[in-house]
A and B are shown apart, each in its own frame.
Chain A
Amino acid sequence: MRFSGRARWIFPLARFFFFAAALALAAGCSRHEPPADLTIINNVEPESLDPAIIVAQADMRVVSGLFEGLTRLEPVAARAVPGLAESWDISPDGKIYTFHLRTNLLWSTGEPITSADVVYSWIRALDPKTASRYAGQLYYLKNAEEFNTGKITNAALVGVSAPDKFTVRAELKSPTAFFLDLCAFPTLAVVPRQAIEKYGDHWLMAKQLPVSGAFQLAAWRLNDKIRLKKNLRYWDATNTQSEIIDILPVGSPNTALNLYERGQVDIVWDKELIPSELMDVLLQRADFHSFTYLGTYFFRFNVTHKPFDDPRVRKALALAVDKERIVEKITKAGEVITGHLVPAGTRNYTPPAGLGYDPVLARKLLAEAGYPGGKGFPRFEYLFNAAAGGGGKIHENVAIELQQMWRDELGISMELRQVETQVFWGMQSRLDYQLSRSSWIGDYNDANTFLGMFVTGDGNNETGWSNPHYDELVHAANEETDLTRREKLFQQAETILVHDELPIVPLYIYVGINYFDTNKVLGIWENVLDDHPLRSIRKIKAKL
């Protein structure tokens, strides 16, 4: 009977586990929270909620609700309209902006928001110690780049100042047509000095976090939820449509769809959150909305190596791509094929045509370059990354399609190489590739957000391509205050990029997709920035 005596320990142990589990369950139940008015799935957990730190579009959708800039985007067409600033004057040369703040601005904690807070916020984003990756959004200010890169250390020399409590004076390097749009960009949002100086890098965890935007941060639990509560001291609080909004971080498209179908969430707003296998079926439904926005899918050539140093070769490859096949067979969300980089619909700009599909001309160009029928063309490699989410397979399938098209039309053979995402970015910027998949989403509604990338030496050029005439045209466009002349200059520049030289080949313009029932949710409009301010969104309460 000795063993059974010892074995009795099993039962108390089992009982302990049972009660522990029961207790834990009870603890789980006890977390009482009022239900949210609106629940949104916004892609994965944000990297940060600090406007100076974030870079992902999904993160910006949340942060824009917490912190506002001098301007803000209106919900219909995502145009910059007065935010914390009520009005502004622009000098005739377009270089000096004088902003007049509203006089009734308060932090959510009650202190007044003044022009000194604006100056502090911009200088903070530029301060090397903040280590903001998007500090470049402020480089349009005089001496901003010099301060950020440590060439000067005196912040007072940067072109932003506060002549009085309600005036902000911004001095720019050159007239910047999209500066007012930039003022609505999170990097330039107004953040609370009082909390940042007190708590350092953990300032967002402050119990009483002062915010300048329409919502307060009520709770932030990693990978669980972000709860936003209406900020009653926001200058436009009367027009904030919802009291409590829950933002759920969900990265799995199937989970997002399940939660939506069971009525647990009201809105899912990221194109990566549609299971790609169900794309065709779901897009037929009335509550699935797709619309083009400012994003382009393309691929890059590394022009520093043979045979892609020859524009004829690059052109030949571009002309042999049947882009229709890619959007019909692979992406299937209604994407529009494109020969140009800047999406149609960009403000004050009509892009040039670019190249179409012409295999005959492609073969001719390849022969001219010394590879008739693809003979003697070296094997080459197409680099792409293993992406997560619903679009995960797209890069690979596009690569396979291109491989087949070029083999059939030009008689050349390409190998595919897939690498981890974090490895991919490094290889691309080191020019450690021959061809590489790429995409770009516009930061603001202006051609410069696309064309500025391919200027010589720009960090996002990543092709090794350099054309002095192109650089001159882009530079001249950004100096130009006349919008028609500016458009002409940009068109000439883009023609060089997508018609003559082709360091890149644009394939299609992205579509944004979100899903919500238009009979239940109001205040979301389709716009080219895929931007939907939280303050405007409201769920119609079900009648009891």
Chain B
Amino acid sequence: MYFLRRILFAIPLLLVISVLAFVLVHLAPGGPFDSERKPASPEIERNIKAKYHLDEPIWKQYGRYLGDLLHGDFGVSLKYRNHSVNDIIAQGLPVSMLLGGLAFCFATAVGVPLGFFTAARRGRWPDYLGSFFAVLAVCIPSFVVAPALILIFAMKLKWFPVALWSTPWHMVLPSIALGSYFVGKVARIMREGMLTAAQSEFVTAARAKGLGETALLLKHAFPIALLPVVSYSGPMLADLLTGSFIIENIFQIPGIGVFLVNSSLNRDYTVVVGLSLLYAMLLIALNLAVDFAYTWLDPRVKYE
């Protein structure tokens, strides 16, 4: 019931987002067809606007947009006039999702053990070393990590390609560059979770029963410590799956992240609104999935 209600609530939320995105992007100065080369006659400008209904009042344009949207049609891109927004999403989203998924795997596969390890060795040098790396990973932005990786592993050592997207080899460096920030983030959250869990009563009780320290941490503290990581993974996945402008740009990856940024610079109205909605839907869906995962992991959590 609870989840059904959440899904129903998402519909008006998406409507509000679409109105906001639509109005805001139309309000921004400059339009999609402004360019250095002015057409030979003002009529040409009018022809173009008429073709894309930009000459109509904005409420009418929105109504038309909403009507198309209900049929699953996000409209045509005003910048890439041969492509529909559906096209752009269909071509770009799988790529961004694969890249984001790989970065997610990298972030959790490295971050969770790192957090666990530093918490288990709390206050000793492995803790300081691990935590130092975790902080470093959070602090260095991806536009520094990516070129550094390219310089070392692609240009100097020639282990990986410098850019483009076709074989698994092409995916390694961008996944690491995109995931490194989240490695640090996940490790820190995991460490905090472990420390909190280790102090909770049921762990003390288990220790009193004479359970070994390793079993204690692995079987009792670990699942509870994982909960904050799980709740963080929702927004993290939404962030990763919708692509990264910087990483996609540096590695020349045909994902959706580049469009998310460029479309607003280009005033490509339909793409801006379409991708905003897509991002909103992903965020809602992933948050829902996280809440769902919560009930599985922690039976104390119940949604009414």
- Answer whether residue B266 sits at the interface, using C-beta atoms and an 8 A cutoff: yes
When C-beta atoms are compared, the residue in chain A nearest to B40 turns out to be A136
* Bound-state Cα–Cα, A28 to B98, Å: 10
Q: Which residues of A contact B297 (CB under 8 A)?
A: 6-7, 9-10
- Answer whether residue A53 sits at the interface, using C-beta atoms and an 8 A cutoff: yes
Q: Which residues from chain A sit less than 8 Å from chain B, CB to CB?
A: 1-4, 6-7, 9-10, 14, 17-18, 20-21, 24-25, 28-29, 31, 45, 47-50, 53, 55, 128-129, 131-137, 139, 145, 148-150, 201-202, 204-205, 221-224, 248-252, 254-255, 258-259, 261-262, 264, 420-426, 429, 439, 459-460, 462
* Bound-state Cα–Cα, A422 to B105, Å: 39
* Bound-state Cα–Cα, A254 to B98, Å: 24
A2 B299 Cβ-Cβ under 8 A: yes
A425 B36 Cβ-Cβ under 8 A: yes
B31 A422 Cβ-Cβ under 8 A: yes
When C-beta atoms are compared, the residue in chain B nearest to A128 turns out to be B47
Q: Which residues of B contact A202 (CB under 8 A)?
A: 82
A224 B254 Cβ-Cβ under 8 A: yes
- Answer whether residue B204 sits at the interface, using C-beta atoms and an 8 A cutoff: no
- Answer whether residue B258 sits at the interface, using C-beta atoms and an 8 A cutoff: yes
Smallest distance from the beta carbon of A35 to chain B beta carbons, Å?
11
Q: Which residues of B contact A134 (CB under 8 A)?
A: 37, 39
A426 B30 Cβ-Cβ under 8 A: yes
* Bound-state Cα–Cα, A2 to B42, Å: 73
How many residue-residue contacts, CB under 8 A, span A and B? 202
Smallest distance from the beta carbon of B251 to chain A beta carbons, Å?
7
B219 A1 Cβ-Cβ under 8 A: yes
* Bound-state Cα–Cα, A264 to B154, Å: 12
Smallest distance from the beta carbon of A130 to chain B beta carbons, Å?
8
Q: Which residues of A contact B201 (CB under 8 A)?
A: none
Within 8 A of A (CB), among B236-275: 249-255, 258-259, 265-267
B249 A459 Cβ-Cβ under 8 A: no
Categorize the interface residue count of chain B.
Answer: 35 or more
* Bound-state Cα–Cα, A248 to B296, Å: 47
A18-B105, A28-B166, A264-B161 are known contacts. Are A128 and B43 too (CB-CB below 8 A)? yes
Q: Which residues of B contact A139 (CB under 8 A)?
A: 40-41
A17 B104 Cβ-Cβ under 8 A: yes
- Answer whether residue B12 sits at the interface, using C-beta atoms and an 8 A cutoff: no
Q: Which residues of B contact A31 (CB under 8 A)?
A: 166
Q: Which residues of A contact B259 (CB under 8 A)?
A: 223
* Bound-state Cα–Cα, A435 to B64, Å: 40
When C-beta atoms are compared, the residue in chain B nearest to A8 turns out to be B223
* Bound-state Cα–Cα, A181 to B90, Å: 40
- Answer whether residue B187 sits at the interface, using C-beta atoms and an 8 A cutoff: no
Q: Which residues of A contact B267 (CB under 8 A)?
A: 422
- Answer whether residue B167 sits at the interface, using C-beta atoms and an 8 A cutoff: yes
- Answer whether residue B71 sits at the interface, using C-beta atoms and an 8 A cutoff: no
Out of A7, A55, A128, A255, name the residue touching B222 (CB < 8 Å): A7
Q: Which listed segment binds A: B13-21, B73-81, B132-140, B276-284?
A: B73-81
Out of A17, A132, A201, A259, name the residue touching B76 (CB < 8 Å): A201
Smallest distance from the beta carbon of B108 to chain A beta carbons, Å?
8
A255 B81 Cβ-Cβ under 8 A: no
Q: Using an 8 Å CB-CB cutoff, how does the interface string of B68-102 with A read, 1 for contact, 0 for none?
A: 00000000100111110001100110000010011
Smallest distance from the beta carbon of A220 to chain B beta carbons, Å?
9
- Answer whether residue B48 sits at the interface, using C-beta atoms and an 8 A cutoff: yes
Most-contacted residue by chain B among A50, A134, A425 (CB, 10 A): A425
* Bound-state Cα–Cα, A429 to B223, Å: 63
A462 B299 Cβ-Cβ under 8 A: no
A420 B31 Cβ-Cβ under 8 A: no
Out of A2, A128, A255, A424, name the residue touching B162 (CB < 8 Å): A255
* Bound-state Cα–Cα, A387 to B202, Å: 60
- Answer whether residue B224 sits at the interface, using C-beta atoms and an 8 A cutoff: yes
* Bound-state Cα–Cα, A199 to B79, Å: 19
13 contacts between A and B (CB under 8 A): A4-B220, A28-B167, A53-B82, A131-B48, A133-B37, A149-B41, A262-B154, A262-B155, A264-B161, A422-B265, A429-B38, A439-B36, A460-B37
When C-beta atoms are compared, the residue in chain A nearest to B167 turns out to be A29
Out of A21, A250, A426, A459, name the residue touching B101 (CB < 8 Å): A21
Apart from A136-B41, A224-B254, A261-B155, what are 17 other A-B pairs with CB-CB below 8 Å? A6-B297, A31-B166, A47-B80, A128-B47, A133-B33, A133-B44, A223-B252, A223-B254, A224-B91, A252-B249, A254-B250, A255-B162, A258-B155, A262-B155, A422-B32, A426-B31, A459-B39
- Answer whether residue B168 sits at the interface, using C-beta atoms and an 8 A cutoff: yes
B105 A21 Cβ-Cβ under 8 A: yes
Most-contacted residue by chain A among B163, B171, B249 (CB, 10 A): B163
A47-B81, A264-B161 are known contacts. Are A148 and B44 too (CB-CB below 8 A)? yes
Q: Which residues of A contact B147 (CB under 8 A)?
A: 254
A4-B219, A262-B162, A426-B34 are known contacts. Are A150 and B43 too (CB-CB below 8 A)? yes
Q: Which residues of B contact A426 (CB under 8 A)?
A: 29-31, 34
B223 A3 Cβ-Cβ under 8 A: yes
A223 B223 Cβ-Cβ under 8 A: no
- Answer whether residue B195 sits at the interface, using C-beta atoms and an 8 A cutoff: no
* Bound-state Cα–Cα, A4 to B39, Å: 69
* Bound-state Cα–Cα, A150 to B50, Å: 13
B34 A422 Cβ-Cβ under 8 A: yes
Q: Which residues of A contact B165 (CB under 8 A)?
A: 28, 224
- Answer whether residue B56 sits at the interface, using C-beta atoms and an 8 A cutoff: no
Q: Which residues of A contact B10 (CB under 8 A)?
A: none
Q: Which residues of A contact B171 (CB under 8 A)?
A: 25, 28
When C-beta atoms are compared, the residue in chain A nearest to B49 turns out to be A131
Out of B35, B50, B164, name the residue touching A425 (CB < 8 Å): B35
Smallest distance from the beta carbon of A510 to chain B beta carbons, Å?
14
B81 A50 Cβ-Cβ under 8 A: yes
Q: Which residues of A contact B150 (CB under 8 A)?
A: 258
* Bound-state Cα–Cα, A136 to B168, Å: 48
Out of A249, A262, A422, name the residue touching B30 (CB < 8 Å): A422
Q: Which residues of A contact B35 (CB under 8 A)?
A: 55, 133, 425
Within 8 A of A (CB), among B136-156: 147, 150, 154-155
Q: Which residues of A contact B105 (CB under 8 A)?
A: 17-18, 21
* Bound-state Cα–Cα, A204 to B87, Å: 13
* Bound-state Cα–Cα, A17 to B112, Å: 15
A221 B254 Cβ-Cβ under 8 A: yes
Q: Which residues of A contact B296 (CB under 8 A)?
A: 6, 9
Q: Which residues of B contact A48 (CB under 8 A)?
A: 80-82
* Bound-state Cα–Cα, A518 to B222, Å: 62
When C-beta atoms are compared, the residue in chain B nearest to A440 turns out to be B36
Q: Which residues of B contact A262 (CB under 8 A)?
A: 154-155, 158, 161-162
